[in-house]
Amino acid sequence: MKPSVPNIRQVAEYAGVSVGTVSNVLNRPDLVAPSTRERVQAAIKELNFVRNDSARQLRAGRSRTLGLVVLDISNPFFTDVARGVEEIANHNGLAVIVCNSDDDTEKESSHLDLLNEMRVQGVLINPIEGSDKKIEMLREHGTPVVLFDRQAASEGECSVAVNDLLGGRQALTHLIDTGHQRVLFLSGPFHLRQVQERHEGAVAAVEASSTPLDLDVMTTPTPNVTTGRSAGDRIAAMPPSTRPTAVFCANDLLALGLLQALTHAGLQVPHDIAIVGYDDIDFAAAAAVPLSSVRQPRQQLGRTGAELLLDETTNPDHEHQQVTFEPELIVRRSSDLQRS
Amino acid sequence: MKPSVPNIRQVAEYAGVSVGTVSNVLNRPDLVAPSTRERVQAAIKELNFVRNDSARQLRAGRSRTLGLVVLDISNPFFTDVARGVEEIANHNGLAVIVCNSDDDTEKESSHLDLLNEMRVQGVLINPIEGSDKKIEMLREHGTPVVLFDRQAASEGECSVAVNDLLGGRQALTHLIDTGHQRVLFLSGPFHLRQVQERHEGAVAAVEASSTPLDLDVMTTPTPNVTTGRSAGDRIAAMPPSTRPTAVFCANDLLALGLLQALTHAGLQVPHDIAIVGYDDIDFAAAAAVPLSSVRQPRQQLGRTGAELLLDETTNPDHEHQQVTFEPELIVRRSSDLQRS
DNA sequence: ACCAGCTAATGAAACGTTTCATACAACCTA
DNA sequence: TAGGTTGTATGAAACGTTTCATTAGCTGGT
């Protein structure tokens, strides 16, 4: 059987109507008399007609897809966000193109080019430092862009974010309160705004405290489980006298890897070293030692982002908004000596 | 600044050449004299021209995207597969549209409709039972479909899968060898082929064994961490005399939830109950008690699937293949009394 | 001086929709 | 009966590319 792809003209012919009428049946059925409508619908079914979206969007000017660019699709934090986006998008008959930038400017750039060529309705992006020009370019072409997990720099754009400064402060305040004096910030690359701000928040908490506290930083190239593990190996190898008594991790993947390496090296969490993660992904609670973590409203982030984007595309008097959610520290065993 | 979207004609005018020449610069630069080529490229840059993909694909007949339909994007197993697919796709200048079916026929169906309208190059799908008609329809429209994580029913289609029967057998053989006599299969919905076959493999192992063994089944509606937790609550509530001594889970999410609930209820893993999961996602090794699990070559699955799909779209004498990988049981503490 | 064989560039047709101005009835109203 | 109104269907233009047959301008060989 040959791949038969009938077009709207053939449907029209088969049903004995004009092309315009078929289009009307498809797009504004109420403009068509019931009897003709049925005839056309029967023809569509009979011929197995499927509308060609390229042609439709060529005419319409825009496609029916949303672009979502994330740093790391393997990170459950981002899949949760993606779910939120998808929920809203599907609800409005839109598809989502998920792109993975892997914290690589080149990749991000080529993804954005592709999305631009596709004339997507809009783009939701967790931008890497320095991708502002590309984003500006998209905007100039009439594609709205909403920043997520990153506060907008100006009021001229939409963003959804979570207060990372506060999150960092919450984590460190907790560690200070539980008596730690040598804390390590296990960081991702500092060009990520999230990382910077979580660190900044941590520093602020230290400065606000009356008790003295050493806050060191160990940087990893990519914040995932594997790098967390090797950081853990290095930390475990430190002499107990200089080793940190608590580690605040830039995300939960690092924290999980760290936890695994420390345990493997025979160190007790939280007795020897306490750990606080970030994101509170589902796996944090299921970890070897249930992980304290700064919770972010993940799906909510995605939903709100998608809603802002849709509003910007459809609402003529859209007003740019910078939405910020508050994080919440969830204390579990990994940082709670009492409980363990 | 108004959203200015120049088209190829304006570029041609600006550069003082014909439309066809601009198109040639874009698609077959070697056919164009260097001096003109440069002039056109300058014009493109100057005007900020971005090719309109709808128009391009309307002419070309097919889009430059691949569709990937997965059961649950929150499951790291699937994101790893997605990474593999993306890797190959991006390498060939294609974008990937990731769709989440959530094990819901309606959702799957509407995703497939959308992909069909988009005239994607091909679809990689982990199909739900009973979606064969829709898939057949896509094929009739000339869209190749490759099944993944599911053996093709006939030789008339491509598929990449992992031998689930073998995986189930490996898990149970291991539990039999370590002396268990009351084992529970903590299952996902049985309409999923994967679930069926893992169970079948487990049964086969029991039948092949000389020692008697009870193999019960507990079914969950969706195999995720949450349902795993509630299953764990139920299991923990059973009297020790009838309670299973080992649980084989249909995937790692169930296993992680289960582990968490059992630990919370004060039961020791593996002493009171041993656990074996499936997929060996990265978090399995990082769990409260490192999880034994049947490992699948996740990224490989995605890569191979994408490659088959591309071959089917581009190679005129493509031959359908049914690729099957072998799983491998990774034993960790959750099922190893010796080690703990 | 003529033709053959190149390389470059051109212009128009085609892809499959949607949209919009128009046409035709049929029905009402004055 | 003329003029408006409403409901339905039509046909052609337009969207922005790619493709392909054609032409134009050279070079070199006879």
Q: How many Å from the CA of B25 to C1' of D22?
A: 20
Whether omega before B270 lies within 30 degrees of 0, making that bond cis, reads yes
Residue B2 domain-assigned?
A: no
Query: Which pLDDT score, from 0 to 100, does residue B338 have?
Result: 76
Residue B78 lies in a domain: yes
pLDDT of residue B1: 43
pLDDT higher than threshold 60 for residue B224: yes
pLDDT digits (tens, 9 = 90+) for B109-154: 999 999 999 999 999 999 998 889 999 999 999 999 999 998 888 8
The tens digit of pLDDT for each residue in B43-54 reads 999 999 999 999
Please measure the distance between the N-terminal and C-terminal CA atoms of chain B and give it in whole angstroms.
Answer: 67
**Close Cβ partners of B243 (under 8 Å, ≥ 6 residues apart):** B182, B235, B273
Backbone angles phi, psi at A228, to 5 degrees: -60, -40
Query: Quick one: which H or E segment has residue A117?
Result: helix A105-117
A76, A281 contact by CB (below 8 A): yes
Angle in degrees, 0-180, between the axes of helices A132-140 and A105-117, rounded to the nearest 10: 0
**Residue A249: count of CB within 10 angstroms of its CB:** 32
A87 and A125 belong to one structural domain: yes
Same domain, A44 and A151: no
Tell me the three state secondary structure of residue A197: helix
Does the distance separating the beta carbons of B286 and A260 come in below 8 Å?
Answer: yes
* Mean of the per-residue pLDDT values of chain A: 94
Measured between CB atoms, which of A74, A118, A142 is closest to B53? A118
Mean pLDDT in chain B? 93
Pairing of strands B95-100, B145-148: unpaired
DSSP-based three-state secondary structure for A166: helix
Which domain covers residue B288, as residue numbers?
164-297+329-335
Contact B249, B181 (CB under 8 A): no
DSSP letter string, A204-273: HHHHH-SS--EEEEEE-SS-SHHHHHHHHHHHHTS-TTTS-SEEEESSHHHHHHHHHHHHHTT--TTTT-
Domain identity same for B146 and B169: no
State the pLDDT at residue A300: 97
Instruction: Evaluate if residue B3 carries a pLDDT over 70.
Output: no
d(CA A4, nearest CA chain B) in Å: 6
Beta-strand pair A274-279/A214-219: unpaired
Q: Which of A10, A53, A69 to mutate to test the interface with B (most CBs of B within 10 A)?
A: A53
For chain A, how many structural domains are there in total?
A: 3
Query: Looking at the structure, do residues A156 and A303 belong to the same domain, yes or no?
Result: yes
A59 touches strand D (CB under 7 A): yes
Determine the 3-state secondary structure of B276 from DSSP: strand
pLDDT value at residue B129: 85
Q: What is the DSSP letter of A123?
A: E
CATH number, domain containing residue B25 = 1.10.260
Residues B41 and B127 in one domain: no
For residues A173 and A255, state if they share a domain: yes
Q: Nearest chain A Cα to B224, which residue?
A: A282
Is B239 in the same domain as B121? no
Name which of B48, B83, B285 is nearest A260 (Cβ-Cβ). Answer: B285
Helix, strand, coil share (%) of chain B residues, nearest 5:
45, 15, 35
- Give chain B residues 45-64 with Cβ within 7 A of strand C: 55, 58-59, 61
- Examine residue B57 and state whether it is found in any structural domain, yes or no: no
The distance (Å) linking the CA of A295 with the C1' of C22 is 62
CB contacts < 8 A (A, B): 150
pLDDT score, position B4: 67
Q: Rounded CA gap, A285 and A331, in Å?
A: 10
Contact A67, A124 (CB under 8 A): yes
Judgement on whether residues A292 and A302 belong to the same structural domain of the protein:
no
Instruction: Locate the chain B residue with the closest alpha carbon to A252.
Output: B283
Q: Indicate whether B40 pLDDT > 70.
A: yes
B246-249 β-sheet, strand order: B214-219, B182-187, B246-249, B274-279, B292-295, B328-330
Q: What confidence score (pLDDT) does residue A85 get?
A: 96
**Shortest CA distance from B281: residue in chain A:** A74
In percent, how much of chain A has pLDDT > 70?
98
Q: What is the pLDDT of residue B316?
A: 80
Q: Side chain identity at B140, as an amino acid letter?
A: E
Encode pLDDT of A164-216 as tens digits: 999 999 999 999 999 999 999 999 999 999 999 999 999 999 999 999 999 99
pLDDT confidence bin for A1, thresholds 50/70/90 = very low
Q: By the CB < 8 Å criterion, does A282 face chain B?
A: yes
Give the chain B residue nearest A334 (alpha carbons).
B288
Task: Give the three-state DSSP class for A279.
Answer: strand
Say if residue A102 is in the same domain as residue A170: no
Amino acid B79 reads: T
Separation in Å, CA B141 to CA A1, A5, B115, B257: 10, 6, 11, 42
- B262 & B315 share domain: no
List pLDDT tens digits, range B253-271: 999 999 999 998 999 999 9
pLDDT tens track for A4-48: 689 999 999 999 999 999 999 999 999 999 999 999 999 999 999
Q: Are residues A157 and A72 in the same domain?
A: yes
- Report the residue from B58, B83, B287 with minimal CB separation from A288: B287
CATH of the domain at A251: 3.40.50.2300
Alpha-carbon torsion (A115, A119, A124, A130), positive or negative = positive
In a domain? residue A2: no
A32 CB less than 7 Å from any atom of strand D: yes
Model confidence pLDDT, tens digit, residues B172-213:
999 999 999 999 999 999 999 999 999 999 999 999 999 999
What strands lie across the sheet with A328-330, from one edge to the other?
A: A214-219, A182-187, A246-249, A274-279, A292-295, A328-330
Judge if A178 and A280 occupy the same domain.
Answer: yes
Please write the tens of the pLDDT for every residue from A78-101: 999 999 999 999 999 899 999 999
Q: Which of B56, B63, B83 sits opposite A73 (nearest CB)?
A: B83
